[in-house]
Amino acid sequence: MKTMQCDICEQEFSAETFDDWFKQMQGHYMSDHADFMKEAQSKSKEEGMKWMADMKAKFESR
């Protein structure tokens, strides 16, 4: 089980896989960081893919 903190606040989430961690983060972002989610809609697909790759690499390195 790996634990990683939200990249916006200090809340931590634990999961066996990155996909499971990301599912937890989606709900967290939608409830606690709605402003971030709204902003993310205006970003390019490439920016979203880079964020995802960076977060996955960070998760896997734990």
Is the full-model pTM beyond 0.85?
A: no
Every domain of the chain and the residues it spans:
2-60
Contact 12, 6 (CB under 8 A): yes
The DSSP output letter for 12 is E
Q: Which of 46, 49, 53 shows the shortest CA–CA distance to 18?
A: 53
50-59: average pLDDT: 95
Query: What is the torsion angle, in degrees rounded to the nearest 10, for the CA atoms of residue 15, residue 47, residue 11 and residue 28?
Result: -80
* pLDDT score, position 40: 84
pLDDT digits (tens, 9 = 90+) for 2-54: 999 999 999 999 999 999 999 999 999 999 999 988 888 898 999 989 999 99
pLDDT at position 59, please? 95
> Which pLDDT belongs to residue 41?
87
